Structure 1
């Protein structure tokens, strides 16, 4: 079980950690905030995520730490650290620097890239990825007009409405380029007292479309590309004009993998 469970679970946690923690970068002038999240698989806690974020109205920074915990650590122990920083003065966050470090099975993997106005200017992967004929090459155009997997999911809007979902996100991670197509599904109300928010939410469906950097023979990529149960709920952050993910859900062969906001201080 561990051989097949570990890569799908760990990559899914990284996947939704980036989505879920993305929006906390530019909520207001001189903002310092912290948030906690819990990741569950079939209702069982398997990971925690903590987020620290700052914004001065012109520039933002986000730092994220995720740890696999509980029973899941028996088959998928590891940590992931994300960092994103850049410009917050426009109608969305625009990444200028992205960093990712994962530690799993005593192996460390680091990715970093810098960008200017959505175009990547430098990139580094340690250790370098090995050459593989099944990996779709990333060409120059795939590093243009992009955002990192944190800044991509920051949304600004005058109000919570279905049109919030109607957009395509062009994401670059330093090792992979993909699009996420958001589509409106329904309006709902979050009522659970165990979460960090109660009130109206907008549910969007997500479709993952790999462009380059992925492996054509990857079971995880194939699964995510055809996944019909890939959902995100957005909620308003008070009267700030910013919309944040309240919950992200990824259907897996092992059950629903869900990440939910549990605490927010700002």
Structure 2
């Protein structure tokens, strides 16, 4: 699990809230805007991530989503208690809720039920042990003890979002000059490997492509206020074109901050 704030560090802080705004581009065109908020108070956290399709893509498909997660820090690690994912498109709404107990899945609710469940790799009880939800994983990656080492990658995560179980691992590659609308300078560059384990369509052609994709890259920098680490850039090669995520701005306690070392 990623190293999170220590209990001592959290008690020195007064309800820090970080709100980075990012946008996603595909084939050079903006397709979505995403906002993330993280509220840390003492030994508890609450996070919310929401976004919607925008720009050129909005004319083709109206889509919005929201993730919510809350939990506690125990023994220096993020420990989720409840995770909710909801989405809305022109054709349907969808909701998934996962409740956790001691890093294990206690209950899952999916509404409406997945129509193609018989075609998916079953998610077993073992798949729900020692796991973390996608948003809690992001919280853990963005918070740390102070100071945070430059080579912050290298963690392996067991991600459970209700309908999908995946393994995610990262590796530190070095420092690299990075430029986005919200940042210009050196950033820690990491590679990412993503492996959908269960819940995926059993015979989907995209699974092999995702598993063998060795060119996913993320870049992050430390904030100058509080032990926060901000994602400033991500590049995901796809079968058709490349998706890119870029930081627009970042705020802590409502104050626009500089991200840089």
**TM-score class, shorter:** 0.7 to 0.9
Is contact 1:35-1:264 (8 Å) kept? yes
Q: Which residue of 1 aligns with 2:26?
A: 41
- Counterpart residue number, 2:259: none
**Match for 2:166 among 178, 190, 196?**
178
- Higher helix proportion, which one? 1
Question: CA distance change for structure 1 residues 72 and 191 in 2, over 3 Å: closer, same or farther?
Answer: closer
TM-score for both structures, normalised by structure 1:
0.82
Shift of 1:67: 0.6
* Structure 1 residue ranges without an equivalent (≥5): 1-22
Question: Where do 5+ consecutive residues of structure 2 fail to align?
Answer: 253-261
Aligned partner of 1:99 in structure 2 is: 84
Structure 1 residues 207 and 33: CA distance shift in structure 2, 3 A: closer
How far off is 1:239 after superposition? 5.5
Contact 2:49 2:135 in 1 (8 A): no
Deviation at 1:205, TM superposition (A): 0.7
Q: 89, 103, 109: which is aligned to 1:124?
A: 109
Alpha-carbon distance in 1 for matches of 2:201, 2:170 = 23
SS at match of 2:60: helix
Comparing 218-227 with 169-178, which one deviates more in the overlay?
Answer: 218-227
Where do residues 111-150 of structure 1 align in structure 2 (5 Å cutoff)? 111-130=96-115, 132-150=117-135
Q: Give the secondary-structure state (helix, strand or coil) at the position aligned to 2:115.
A: coil
What is residue 160 of structure 1 aligned with on the other side? Answer: 149
Rounded Cα–Cα distance in structure 1 between residues aligned with 2:239 and 2:60: 16
Report the Cα distance in structure 2 between the residues aligned to 1:161 and 1:241, rounded to whole angstroms: 12
Task: Give matches, 1:179-194, under 5 Å.
Answer: 179-192=167-180, 194=181
Q: In the comparison of the two structures, how many residue pairs are matched? A: 239
Distance 2:38 2:227 in 1: 17
- Give distance in 1, aligned partners of 2:63 and 2:121: 27
Match of 1:13 in 2: none
Q: State the match for 2:65 in structure 1.
A: 80
Superimposed CA distance per residue, residues 214-244 of structure 1 (whole angstroms, 9 cap, x where no aligned partner): 1122233333222222111121122633323
- Which stretch has the larger CA shift, 251-260 or 139-148? 251-260
Q: Distance in 2 between matches of 1:173 and 1:84?
A: 11
